[in-house]
Amino acid sequence: MKSVTGIGGLVEAVRAAGIIGAGGAGFPTHAKLAAAVDTVIVNGAECEPLMFGDQLVMESRADALITGMSLVMDDMQTRLGKPVRGVICVKKKYKTAISAIQSEISGCDNLEILELDNIYPSGDEQYLVFEATGRIVPEGGIPPMVGALVMNVTTLVQVADASEGAPVTGRLMTLGGVVERPQVAYVPVGARFGEIVRAMGPAVDDYTLLVNGPMMGRLTDDMDDVTTKTMGGLFVLPKEHSHVRRMRRPLSTEIRLSRSACEVCRYCTDYCPRFLQGHSLEPHRVMRVINYDRDLDTRTITSAWLCCECGVCDLWACPMSLSPRVIFREFKRRLKDAGVKNPHLQSELTPDARRKFRSVPTDRLVPRLGLAGLDRRPPYNPNPPDISGVCVKLDQHIGAPATPVVRAGDKVRLGDLVADIPENSLGARYHASITGEVASVDDNGIVIRGAAS
């Protein structure tokens, strides 16, 4: 293994590899590792329905997962000057993954497995922090504020690879939906959706694409869109599927339906994961603002900043299928445009006494979404989809877009640096995800044609 010892050694290796949070947030991992915490938590919950890539990572690369975790913990311990605890959070139903991880941590006193129930959103980092430590992340806060660091299993495997000099050029993705060849496969960063869909074989003519999971993902019809480092799944769904229609309801329809059908039952609040952890987020109050011009106080409006948009309120709790989440999203947009920052910063919080009784069982959630027949683990395909070229976007992460270091006509090999972090900025590096020739460089990204195309 390439040496990454010494303060800053691991951080620099991770920075050089271009690692960002693979769980979806996309925060540059080298900046995340600057925190000094006493507990490192591994997110192996993969709580979104339809997604299976992280499970395969845990089963097939448990050794790299533990290597990456140990490197992070050793780095933290060096800076803190005291032992660091490691907690690997995995759903108890992932028995093969648990067995593989147990074999790797045998004899490690500072590493443990926390088995989770099959509930949503068990992969939420604030949920994991509370389950693993009993600490509550403050309103508007992040886990390091309570001495914890949460990292996705794929991110930690990438950390292990980075310690040997390997950059991020792709990832395991779940490719499924209404297709003839559902699969979990390694996909290069920047692969076009159209080429991936062709490899899957759509089983319907009139379809749309679901990017990532059905709870927090997005829909697109753009076959020229491309994969990113944070993308874990791509799914083909009929355009007339009930969940597709639900996701595509415009804001105006949401408001009209809310004003005509809201029962003010407060189920949206009673099941809200943030409310159950003591945050001052009460979705039913925002519905009263929209529907009845009630609770028109600053506290109710600005509480939108506390919403993580998990979808529990609209896709599980509301008996009328209304969406406080969409209303919160609009409020956040308007608050941001007005320059209003989050004023909710409470740290002395108490979880709701009914928290453990109000979890959302995933095996009941999936049928409610109309996806029961699609939530089956597909086979692993060791052969990546046939990709003729890629477009490596420069803004897949939180922070400033990367600066290209190549020009049209340059020859690049897999793993070559193609874009770097702007000076004095938060950002991430990007590398060629295939071998070929740079076709174009612009604000949309770096297009690389494959060597055989």
Residue 4 located in a structural domain: no
Confidence tier at 24 by pLDDT (50, 70, 90)? confident
120 shares a domain with 28:
yes
CATH of the domain at 208: 3.10.20.600
* Residue 308: pLDDT over 70: yes
CB count in 10 Å sphere of residue 349? 14
Q: What is the CA radius of gyration of the chain?
A: 22
Which residue, chain included where needed, has tokens 């770097």?
420
Confidence tier at 358 by pLDDT (50, 70, 90)? very high
Quick one: pLDDT at residue 91?
Answer: 97
Distances (CA, A) of 409 to 133, 377, 405, 438: 52, 41, 12, 5
301 shares a domain with 445:
no
19 shares a domain with 146:
yes
Q: Dmax of the chain from CA atoms?
A: 63
CATH of the domain at 399: 2.40.50
More confident residue, 403 or 25: 403
195 shares a domain with 91:
no
The string of pLDDT tens digits covering residues 160-214 is 999 999 999 999 999 999 999 999 999 999 999 999 999 999 999 999 999 999 9
The strand ranges marked E within 10-84 are 39-44
Retrieve residue 193's tokens: 């959706």
Retrieve residue 402's tokens: 């990367």
Helix-strand-coil split of the chain, %, nearest 5: 35, 20, 45
Spatial CB neighbours of 321, under 8 Å, sequence gap ≥ 6: 246, 314
Q: C-alpha angle with apex 6: 3 to 9, nearest 5 degrees?
A: 60
Quick one: pLDDT at residue 160?
Answer: 98
Mean pLDDT, residues 58-83: 95
- How far apart (Å, rounded) are the C-alpha atoms in residues 43 and 214? 19
DSSP-assigned letter for residue 73? H
* Residue 96: pLDDT over 90: yes
CATH of the domain at 81: 3.40.50.11540
Per this entry, what is the length of the chain? 453
Quick one: pLDDT at residue 298?
Answer: 82
295 shares a domain with 198:
no
User: What three-state secondary structure class fits 193?
Assistant: helix
Quick one: pLDDT at residue 1?
Answer: 37
Retrieve residue 396's tokens: 């897949």
Confidence tier at 307 by pLDDT (50, 70, 90)? very high
Retrieve residue 348's tokens: 């002395």
CB count in 10 Å sphere of residue 358? 17
Quick one: pLDDT at residue 8?
Answer: 67
Residue 217 located in a structural domain: yes
The string of pLDDT tens digits covering residues 214-264 is 999 999 999 999 999 999 999 999 999 999 999 999 999 999 999 999 988
Domain stop point among 162, 196, 220: 162
Domain stop point among 136, 162, 188: 162
User: What three-state secondary structure class fits 185?
Assistant: strand
Quick one: pLDDT at residue 100?
Answer: 98
Of 295-299, 320-324, 404-408, which gets the smallest average pLDDT?
A: 295-299
Quick one: pLDDT at residue 292?
Answer: 72
- How far apart (Å, rounded) are the C-alpha atoms in residues 121 and 446? 35
Mean pLDDT, residues 278-299: 84
Residues of the domain holding 292: 255-368
- How far apart (Å, rounded) are the C-alpha atoms in residues 181 and 201? 6
Domain stop point among 333, 368, 403: 368
Residue 246 located in a structural domain: no
Task: Look at the chain and report how many structural domains it folds into.
Answer: 4
**What percent of the chain has pLDDT above 90?**
89
Quick one: pLDDT at residue 380?
Answer: 97
Asked if 318 contacts 295 with a C-beta cutoff of 8 angstroms, the reply is no
237 shares a domain with 116:
no
222 shares a domain with 196:
yes
Quick one: pLDDT at residue 306?
Answer: 97
339 shares a domain with 263:
yes
Q: Of 364, 278, 272, which is closest to residue 311 (Cα–Cα)?
A: 272
430 shares a domain with 301:
no
User: What three-state secondary structure class fits 431?
Assistant: strand
Confidence tier at 384 by pLDDT (50, 70, 90)? confident
Retrieve residue 382's tokens: 């060791």
158 shares a domain with 19:
yes
Spatial CB neighbours of 306, under 8 Å, sequence gap ≥ 6: 139, 140, 274, 279, 280, 281, 342, 344
Quick one: pLDDT at residue 294?
Answer: 63
Q: Of 383, 53, 388, which is closest to residue 192 (Cα–Cα)?
A: 388
Helical pair 251-261 and 324-337, crossing angle rounded to 10 deg: 130
Residue 2 located in a structural domain: no
